[in-house]
Structure 1
Amino acid sequence: MKLVYKGKTKDVYDLEDGNYLLKFKDDVTGKDGVFDPGANTVGLTVEGMGKSGLKMTKFFFEKLKEKGIPTHYVDADIENSTMTVRPAKMFGNGIEVICRYRAVGSFLRRYGMYAEEGQKLDSFVEITLKDDEREDPPITEDALHMLGILSRDEYKILKERTVEISNIVKEELAKKGIELYDIKLEFGRVGDNDEIALIDEISGGNMRAYKDGQYIEPLELEKLMLEK
């Protein structure tokens, strides 16, 4: 296997059959030792985080597969913390899509003049550019279109798919009495027809979830979600 990309929370290897292997690591994003799914730096290392993130990702990607929602997922090897995926083309140099149900994190930092902490939001979708140097700036539909990153039609599909996927995650968490506050997703163009598909992962490391008003750490979230 050839290492093609060393990421913050995953390394990517090229498989000879045309697919890729993602190796999940125990590193999580954050700052000064505090976890933050919206951060663009590694904040801490949590033992078992890679395997935990992969278990959740496998659970959700297989749910999406059942519902016919396109993803890059092929299969997962929990023991080795690896996931096989189809190749995907990035939008520009990569974008992240956040779906928000409550006002927390960077939403509150930006709009705190108007928003109260924990205020309910109606599946608010925002897109940020993957750009560490500029701290992942938010970008609008018009700018995405004018800069040639996304067409308006692609934006519409991306937004609809984001809400659909986020609502599925929200409903699954609700079955365990857990409330999803926000979730960060990534998409790419997959297959011969460049279908817009979910890529990367769906785990505790890219969402904020609360139970009885208390924030749940990613490892604990995986235990609560997947316990029988």
Structure 2
Amino acid sequence: MELKYQGKTKDVYELENGDFLLKFKDDVTGENGVFDPGANTVGLSIEGAGRAGLRLTTFFYEKLNEAGIKTHLISSNIEDATMTVKPATVFGKGLEVICRFRAVGSFLRRYGAYATEGQQLDSFVEVTLKDDDRLDPPISEDALAMLDLLTKEEYAALKDATKKISQFVKDELAKKGLELYDIKLEFGRDAKTNDIILIDEISGGNMRAYKDGEYIEPLELEKIMLAK
């Protein structure tokens, strides 16, 4: 297999058959040693974070596939911390889609003059460009269309899929007494069908979850969610 991309939290390899292999790392995003799913830098390394992220991602992706929501998952190998996925193309150099149920993180930093910490939000969806040099700037529907990154029809499909997937995850967390505050998702186009599909991961590393008002760390989240 050929190394195609070294990311902050995963490395990407192309397999001989055209599929791809994601190798999950123990690095997580954050700043100054503090985890932050919205950060665009690696903030710290947590032993076991890679396998934990893969376990939870596999848990959610298998449930989403069963529910008829398209993802890039083919199979997972927890021991090797790898996931085999379908080939997909990203929009431009990549987009991140955040769904927010409460005001925390970068939303609160931007809109703190009007929002209070933890304020309830109605599945607020925002799209940001994956661009470390420009600190992952938010981008509007009109700008996405004008820059030929997404058509308005694709944006509507992306927004609808984001709300459905995020609510699905929120409901699953609620079964364990957890509340989802926000979640970051990524999408791409299936290289064979051109359908918009969910890519990357769904783990403690790309969401904020709380229990009785207390933040749950990514590794603890995986333990709670996968406990029998």
The normalised TM-score by structure 2 is 0.99
1:1-150 equivalent positions in 2, closer than 5 A: 1-150=1-150
C-alpha separation in 2, matches of 1:95 and 1:14? 21
Q: Deviation at 1:128?
A: 0.1
**8 Å Cα contact 2:99/2:124 also seen in 1:** yes
Equivalent residue for 1:215? 215
Q: Deviation at 1:132?
A: 0.2
Cα-to-partner distance string for 1:83-106 (whole Å, 9 max, x where unaligned) = 000011010110000000000000
| Code of the aligned partner of 1:20 | F
Q: Deviation at 1:193?
A: 2.6
In the TM superposition, structure 1's runs of 4+ consecutive aligned residues that sit over 3 Å from their partners are none
Cα-to-partner distance string for 1:60-119 (whole Å, 9 max, x where unaligned) = 000000011111110100010000000110101100000000000000000111100000
Cα-to-partner distance string for 1:173-219 (whole Å, 9 max, x where unaligned) = 00000000000000000042310000000000000000010000000
**8 Å Cα contact 2:108/2:116 also seen in 1:** yes
Between the two proteins, the alignment pairs up a number of residues equal to 228
**8 Å Cα contact 2:204/2:222 also seen in 1:** yes
Cα-to-partner distance string for 1:7-35 (whole Å, 9 max, x where unaligned) = 00000111001100000000000001000
C-alpha separation in 1, matches of 2:193 and 2:10? 27
1:189-208 equivalent positions in 2, closer than 5 A: 189-208=189-208
Equivalent residue for 1:156? 156
C-alpha separation in 1, matches of 2:7 and 2:114? 36
Equivalent residue for 2:167? 167
C-alpha separation in 2, matches of 1:2 and 1:92? 22
Aligned partner of residue 118 in structure 1, secondary structure: coil
Gaps of 5+ in 1: none
| Code of the aligned partner of 2:226 | L
Aligned partner of residue 21 in structure 1, secondary structure: strand
C-alpha separation in 2, matches of 1:30 and 1:176? 26
C-alpha separation in 2, matches of 1:65 and 1:207? 20
**8 Å Cα contact 2:89/2:190 also seen in 1:** yes
C-alpha separation in 1, matches of 2:49 and 2:193? 34
Gaps of 5+ in 2: none
| Code of the aligned partner of 2:16 | E
Aligned alpha-carbon RMSD (Å): 0.5
Aligned partner of residue 96 in structure 2, secondary structure: strand
Seq. identity, %: 71
